[in-house]
């Protein structure tokens, strides 16, 4: 089994070096390149068959949001955004651009390694409650008409599954609530992503808020 191939893109050399040392110490992770700006990050993603791109949101020449959009559109690489502030105004836009989640730069060593593995496996970083709060906060800033998304293509069960995903529930929790098997829930999730043309659960959460299936600030049973 080959190692997970990772590129670290940040305009601060110390950040790249620190993250690189942590990840290279893992037997299943290989840092194949570093990048100092968005353009270099895109070039690295094109040159290497990457599993995960750690991408700083704010960089010179090309910012992380634009780079995330290009990489997500052109490759199967998962993008994990790096930010200094947990309420960075650019976080939501980065997720919309195709990122599978984000990390604060002061992330703990174990959490960094875990995040890379989770994202590489095709999952998304939705566990921290701050992620859900950010998505709710930033979607609430835009007019409903602008973010309207047709959810009619989903069955009633799929819409309910999507609503629970947006509320941060795991497949096991959804299965228990809906009295279904986890296999059935996984099928619903797969159908949701396929029908709506989404990459992962992060984008599914955004779609739920955009379609007003879940409304920021409203209590949900």
Q: What pLDDT, on a 0 to 100 scale, did the predictor assign at position 191?
A: 94
> Mind listing the pLDDT tens digit for each residue in 68-108?
999 988 998 999 988 876 555 676 677 778 888 778 888 88
Judge whether residue 11 has pLDDT over 80. Answer: yes
The phi-psi region of residue 179 (left if phi > 0; otherwise alpha if psi is between -120 and 50; otherwise beta) is left
**Run of H or E residues at 115:** helix 109-120
At 22, is the pLDDT very low, low, confident or very high (cuts 50, 70, 90)? very high
φ and ψ at 53, to 5 degrees?
A: -115, 115
Could you give the CA distance from residue 137 to residue 157 in angstroms, rounded to a whole number?
26
Could you give the CA distance from residue 159 to residue 178 in angstroms, rounded to a whole number?
12
**171 alpha carbon, distance to own chain's centre:** 17
At 152, is the pLDDT very low, low, confident or very high (cuts 50, 70, 90)? confident
pTM for this prediction: 0.69
Least-confidence region, from 14-28, 121-135, 206-220: 121-135
> Mind listing the pLDDT tens digit for each residue in 108-150?
899 899 889 888 877 666 544 455 565 556 556 555 544 445 7
Q: What pLDDT, on a 0 to 100 scale, did the predictor assign at position 26?
A: 93
From 13, 10, 81, select the one nearest 44 (Cα to Cα).
Answer: 10
What are the beta bridge partners of residue 79? 53
Beta carbons of 102 and 125 less than 8 angstroms apart: yes
At 54, is the pLDDT very low, low, confident or very high (cuts 50, 70, 90)? very high
From 70, 63, 21, select the one nearest 46 (Cα to Cα).
Answer: 70
Could you give the CA distance from residue 157 to residue 16 in angstroms, rounded to a whole number?
44
Q: What pLDDT, on a 0 to 100 scale, did the predictor assign at position 133?
A: 60
> Mind listing the pLDDT tens digit for each residue in 156-183?
999 999 988 887 787 888 999 999 998 9
């Amino acid at each position: 089994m080959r190692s997970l191939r990772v590129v670290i893109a940040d305009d601060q050399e110390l950040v790249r070096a620190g993250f690189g040392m942590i990840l290279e110490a893992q037997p299943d992770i290989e840092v194949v390149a570093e990048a100092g700006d968005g353009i270099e990050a895109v070039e690295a993603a094109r040159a290497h068959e990457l599993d995960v791109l750690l991408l700083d949101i704010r960089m010179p020449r090309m910012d992380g949001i634009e780079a995330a959009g290009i990489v997500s559109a052109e490759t199967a690489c998962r993008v994990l955004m790096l930010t200094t502030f947990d309420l960075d105004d650019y976080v939501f836009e980065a997720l919309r651009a195709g990122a599978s989640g984000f990390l604060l730069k002061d992330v703990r060593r174990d959490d960094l390694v875990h995040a890379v593995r989770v994202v590489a496996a095709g999952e998304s970083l939705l566990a921290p409650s701050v992620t859900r709060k950010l998505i709710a906060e930033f979607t609430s800033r835009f007019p409903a008409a602008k973010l309207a998304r047709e959810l009619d293509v989903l069955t009633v069960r799929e819409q309910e599954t999507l609503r629970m995903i947006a509320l941060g529930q795991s497949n096991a929790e959804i299965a228990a609530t809906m009295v279904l098997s986890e296999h059935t829930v996984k099928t619903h999730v797969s159908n949701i992503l396929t029908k709506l043309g989404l990459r992962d659960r992060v984008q599914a959460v955004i779609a739920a808020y955009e379609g007003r299936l879940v409304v920021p600030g409203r209590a949900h049973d």
